[in-house]
A and B are shown apart, each in its own frame.
Chain A
Amino acid sequence: MTLDLLRFTTAGSVDDGKSTLIGRLLYDTKQVFEDQLEHVAEASMRRGGEGVLDLALLTDGLRAEREQGITIDVAYRYFATARRRFIIADCPGHQQYTRNMVTGASTADLAVILLDARKGVLEQSKRHAFISVLLGIPHLVVAVNKMDLVDYSRARFEELVGEFESFAQKLSAMPGVPMGSALDLEGERRAGPEVTYIPISALEGDNVVDRSQRMDWYQDPARQPVLLELLEEVDVAYDHPYDRPARFPVQWVIRPAQARSTVPAPAAALSEDYRGYAGQLASGALRVGEDVVALPSGQRTRIAAIDTYEGTLEEALAPMSVTLRLEDELDVSRGELICRPEQSPTVARELRADVCWLNARPLRPGARYVIKHTTRSATAIVDALEDRVDVHTLERAPAPAELELNDIGSVRLRTSAPLAFDPYVGNRRTGSFILIDEATNETVGAGMVASATG
């Protein structure tokens, strides 16, 4: 049976039991290897553990982290069940590591937000939820952990659900909240992320892989999933390739100088005239024979062929990497976006975007950066800082003087060359960009386009 792939983030503070949860997922699905268990057993003992396997130690990697006992960077974990392959982006919980949470969240289909049943909904949890939603994660799972320490109390669980729900309502009401890929029962796309609440105990194993025997109020398989079940069944990003318009950013032009007889010939024509536009479909689907346009140049043509190493295809679906051959000889190069003319993105040089600032040197109006958007790079000047978001209240304070490390705010930019983009809420690939400091080469900002301006 073919497996598909789900990426999800886990976020929570050090004490919320996030590492224990991951350790439990890996352990209960039998992904943990014996030598890793040995290491953990030894380390658990060294740290004074009393014979209990500290599953959290399965996931702490770097020396500094192990010494301090905290997680300071995103770690990627891999496991699979019979139904699906998973990639976990395990993000640190501290405020100063927003940059890492944003990294992990950018490609995730789902976010697991951990609450400690005793402590309730902390500022940290709200921040994680906000970042998840801002970064376009369509599914949130709020895992209320440590149910064993609150006597598996239904009342406590429901109290926390209520508390988080009111925050979630605020998130859904935020302008520009990304639409989830989730379709509700009527087949309508709903605004905001889908949120599911699950009472768990990572330490004891309740409702992580196996259904808990200690919560008789949480036994309905139709409406009350256990965590792994949910992870196996949610939509992944590319389950509905026809739902979004086709977007093909040209990455690389393939132009063999001459035919090479020593190279095993793929099905594609091996001629001096061969000109293929190689890239990865960011969204949607393209068929041979379709009319397309290359933006921002505006050149029009038809798809003559879709090549892969295995041969030609009639149709390519996101996220395939393919090579397009076009009917006309155009001057198309890296950085152009190929799409259907009637489904074009916006082409503009002035835009408004939410930017998460990732660097110690703050963002100020008038500053200049390199902007990288799909396969296109240009220079960008910050025309204005429109507001800064308070991630706890979700209020936007107008006209800040600057954005500091870990701040998120709305920014107006002007670029040296036109970009072909979609609003981030519609398309995470063609609505996102990074800002790079020309002097230090650091990636300093993560941007999500709201709209063109001016």
Chain B
Amino acid sequence: MTLAAARPQLSHLRALESEAIHVMREVAAELERPVLLFSGGKDSIVLLRLAEKAFRPAPFPFPLMHVDTGHNFPEVIEFRDRRVAELGERLIVASVQESIDSGRAVEETGPRASRNRLQTVTLLDAIAKHDFDAAFGGARRDEERARAKERVFSFRDDFGQWDPKNQRPELWNLYNGRIRKGENVRVFPLSNWTELDVWEYIAQEQLEVPSIYFAHERAVFSRDGMLYAWREGVELIDGEQVFSEMVRYRTVGDMSCTGGVRSRALTLDEVVTEIAATRITERGETRADDRVSEAAMEDRKKAGYF
């Protein structure tokens, strides 16, 4: 049995980073109109840094796009705008509200209403409108069971649908991005990264993230075992109370479906320590959208979700 070299040449983060940069450059080279989906969340923040590493000193060969539900944390929107301005890149905002207003999407009602599912319509419409043929997303395979099987290049048909039985074999680092008109590819450069990798990378690169990722005082209410942010217009169910709590967010989705966790982690290092010790997956703890059914994510992907 042979032993490994005493000192690895490249740390795992650097190896993962290099792989992700390679993926982004392949897309730029082989597809014609890519877009980078930027939500202001930690995974898309890492994607932006990777894009800088891949393409600087030139401008990105693609715009950024945010599918805005209208129910985002204000801190995240502020962060988004500031970061985009810093980078000097172009941002397209696709609005779920506009989809609702134009009758393309129907608002959910009731106390558990969320615009999460509606994002799919807005996303697909925006892709069609701008004729994008590839969209970078920050999804990782460790996030959730249905994503464990995703390829790096995830093929969507012209209805935006994902068919798990029909994915292309992905060998070595040779990606096949050939598509027909009207089809598009979702590309996930962070496929092999874990939640902890993402945070360690953010710490390594000293990347700024929206303040809600750190512990802060917030008005919340408890529902279905999660802590939701209270905001104007939220319908409380009988017995639910709003109270103040020190929370941070492990993931940034729409406010209506993202739960915060109790935390005292005020700095990046403290967040990393908490996560390293955590016993509950990021999505399990905080995303109501995945709880609907065991196969919730899979079903949404088949319908064209991220």
Contact = CB atoms under 8 A, between A and B. Distances in A.
Contact of B284 (A36, A75, A429): A36
A270 interface: yes
Nearest to B302: A63
B223 interface: no
B54 A278 contact: yes
Q: Which of A34, A262, A321 has the most CB of B within 10 A?
A: A321
A212 B157 CA distance: 50
Contacts of B141: 76, 78
B170 A103 contact: yes
Contact of A235 (B2, B19, B178, B295): B2
B93 interface: no
Interface string B227-262: 000000000000000000000000000000000000
A266 B56 contact: yes
B173 interface: yes
Interface string A71-102: 01111111010001101000000000001101
A434 B174 contact: yes
A170 interface: no
Interface residues of A, number: 90
Interface string B36-78: 0000000000000000111111110000000000000000000
Interface in A207-243: 223, 225, 230, 233-236, 238-241
A433 interface: yes
Given A234-B1, A256-B59, A63 B295 contact: yes
Interface stretch (A122-130, A158-166, A247-255, A396-404): A247-255
B56 to A, nearest CB: 5
A380 interface: no
Contacts of B168: 442-443
A358 interface: yes
Given A234-B2, A260-B88, A5 B12 contact: yes
Interface in B146-199: 146, 148-149, 164-165, 167-174, 176, 178-180, 191-192, 194, 196-197
A314 B7 CA distance: 19
B9 A239 contact: yes
Interface in B284-306: 284-285, 294-295, 298
A78 B169 contact: no
Interface stretch (B25-33, B109-117, B126-134): B25-33
Given A35-B285, A443-B169, A3 B12 contact: yes
Contacts of A446: 169, 171
B103 interface: no
A33 B1 contact: no
A361 interface: no
Interface string B190-226: 0110101100000000000000000000000000000
A102 B176 contact: no
A141 B148 CA distance: 24
A389 B221 CA distance: 64
B188 to A, nearest CB: 11
A441 B171 CA distance: 15
Contacts of B4: 4, 233-236, 239
A278 to B, nearest CB: 6
A270 B10 contact: no
9 contacts: A4-B10, A5-B12, A35-B280, A241-B9, A263-B88, A279-B22, A317-B10, A321-B25, A443-B169
Given A4-B12, A370-B178, 18 more contacts: A4-B4, A33-B278, A35-B285, A77-B148, A78-B194, A80-B12, A87-B192, A99-B169, A107-B172, A225-B1, A256-B58, A256-B59, A263-B57, A278-B25, A309-B56, A334-B29, A434-B174, A441-B176
Q: Which 3 A-B pairs have the closest CB atoms?
A: A35-B284, A4-B8, A262-B88
